[in-house]
Amino acid sequence: MILDNELERIRQDFPILEKDMGGKPIVYLDSACMSLKPKQVVQAMNEYYEKYPACAGRSMHKLSKMVTDKVADARKTVARFLGAGEPEEVVFTRNATEAINLVSYALDFKKDDVVLTSDREHNSNLLPWQLLSKRVGVKHRVIPSKENMEFDLEKFKEMMREKVKLVSIVHTSNLDGYTLPAGEIIKIAHERGSLVMLDGAQSAPHKQVDVRKLDADFFAFSGHKMLGPSGTGALYAKYDLLERMNPFMVGGDTVQNSTYESHVLLKPPEKFEAGLQNYAGCIGFGEAARYLDRIGRDRVEKHEIDLNKVISERLLQIKGMSIIGPEQPKLRGGIISFNIKGLDHHDVAIMLDEKDIMVRSGQHCVHSWFNAHKMPGCVRASLYLYNTKEEAEKFVDAVAEISKLR
């Protein structure tokens, strides 16, 4: 776990936490949407703009070489962060959304191929398959959860009797923080000849991930949820798959050579990284991965669960309170999604903001789940390594006070 004296040092790396709003410090509980950025990440990005603001890989001068080396170092760092075999298995993207879309366009799908997703997918891992169904004729199937909101392995096995091309499934849900049994899902899928992609936008920042131990074929995640800059992310893919896939976007930096009639593509990952890249973002992304590795994501996960236990135990004492997801806090990681009977979720979020407590309200890009459950939305508090027990208590005190307005 993260000890109090270490937590105090960590918080000093996030200048926004030192500020106040009208004389009160902020309590930031919206990290599942966007994490805060430590000053080390900002400094790494500023260094690019101030000391070597040039193109990578295109020119022979010293500044260009510095950028090339820094981006290569960031790729190595992100590869280690995931447990990837080689840096070349990491493709830089703008976010997890682009990474998932890349696979939907670049993998060789044919009419009547089957893609399975869960019933709690973010729109980023739902819409690409709906569009692919219209574009190519792929069959998209949705795996229903158990009544207790846990993943139904037996139903999954039953649905895998159909010849499935790809299982594209969320690793940790942004709806309720539940982590699906990825290892078992991948084993079952591989035994039946299917590839597996994990949407790791909510898992990579909060728990130790080793893509080789999991044997994931694809893993998509975003920088902005793991202390990194916005507009950054990555797709991990086994190298042999990257070699077989065709890019869906091409242009500068993707080819070795071209004529008026033909071209020769570069090897992965470059053939998927068309055009001028977000060099500062890639460098900041790598710095964010280093920052988290120094602390240890196993410790981050334990810290969040400890805070979730404090919050959940007290929230459930409030009359009219309902928490979305599995009952046990340890199964919901750092996310607490809830509603108070008789109060609108947006109103609750606004009233919390008036107390300088920042949460998210709405359907959290999981509209499909909320519509299926005939629920207009919920309030979501999401924790991270910089949150404290005092903040957790302040949050629950505020919710308890708001609940009296029913």
334 shares a domain with 222:
no
Q: 229, 212, 232, 210: which is closest to 221 by C-alpha?
A: 232
User: Domain end: 261, 276, 294, which one?
Assistant: 294
CA proximity to 219, closest of 78, 73, 365, 385: 78
256 and 318 both lie in a single domain = no
Tally Cβ neighbours within 10 Å of residue 7.
17
Of 121, 119, 179, 155, nearest to 326 by C-alpha is: 179
Strand 321-324 versus strand 335-340 pairing type: antiparallel
CATH of the domain at 338: 3.90.1150.10
Tens-binned pLDDT, residue by residue, of the chain (406 aa): 787 789 999 999 999 998 766 667 899 999 999 999 999 999 999 999 999 999 998 889 999 999 999 999 999 999 999 999 999 999 999 999 999 999 999 999 999 999 999 999 999 999 999 999 999 999 999 999 999 999 999 999 999 999 999 999 999 999 999 999 999 999 999 999 999 999 999 999 999 999 999 999 999 999 999 999 999 999 999 999 999 999 989 998 899 999 999 999 999 999 999 999 999 999 999 999 999 999 999 999 999 999 999 999 999 999 999 999 999 999 999 999 999 999 999 999 999 999 999 999 999 999 999 999 999 999 999 999 999 999 999 999 999 999 998 8
Contact 223, 278 (CB under 8 A): no
User: Residue 36: inside a domain, yes or no?
Assistant: no
Residue 63 CA to residue 54 CA, distance in Å, equals 6
- Of 261, 294, 327, the position where a domain reaches its end is 294
Number of folded domains in the chain? 2
Domain boundary among 265, 294, 323: 294
User: With 0-12 CB in 10 A as exposed, 13-18 as middle and 19+ as buried, what is 78?
Assistant: buried
Domain match, 167 and 313 both = no
| 8 and 94 assigned to the same domain | no
Q: Are residues 62 and 19 in the same domain?
A: no
Residue showing tokens 């107390």: 355
Alpha helices, DSSP H, located in 172-296: 182-191, 211-214, 239-244, 279-295
Distance CA 330, CA 333 (A): 6
Q: pTM surpassing 0.95?
A: yes
Q: Is 364 part of any domain? A: yes
Phi and psi at residue 157, to the nearest 5°: -60, -40
Q: Which two tokens stand for residue 312?
A: 């959940």
Sequence-ordered alpha helix ranges (H) in 206-341 = 211-214, 239-244, 279-295, 297-315
Per-residue pLDDT, 57: 84
Judgement on whether residues 148 and 158 belong to the same structural domain of the protein: yes
CB count in 10 Å sphere of residue 5: 7
Range 287-315 burial, b when 16+ CB lie within 10 A, else e = bbbbbbeeeebeebbebbbbbbeebbebb
Alpha-carbon distance 299 to 313, whole Å?
Answer: 21
Per-residue b/e over 322-331, b at no fewer than 16 CB within 10 Å?
ebbbbeebbb
Residue 273 lies inside a defined structural domain of this protein = yes
CB 141 within 8 A of CB 168: no
Residues 223 and 169 in one domain: yes
Q: Which two tokens stand for residue 76?
A: 């190595």
3-state SS string for 17-58? HHCEECCEECEECECCCCCCCCHHHHHHHHHHHHHCCCCCCC
Question: Which structure tokens are listed for 406?
Answer: 């029913």
DSSP 341-379: TTS-HHHHHHHHHHTTEE-EEE-TT-HHHHHHTT---EE
Measured between alpha carbons, how far is residue 306 from residues 36, 277, 380 in Å?
20, 39, 17
Task: Examine residue 37 and state whether it is found in any structural domain, yes or no.
Answer: no
In a domain, 339, yes or no: yes
Residues taking part in catalysis: 365
Helix (H, G, I), strand (E, B) or coil at 118: strand
Domain region containing 206: 42-294
Dihedral sign of CA atoms 40, 7, 211, 116 in order: negative
CB atoms near residue 28 (< 10 Å): 22
User: Can you tell me whether residue 265 is helix, strand or coil?
Assistant: strand
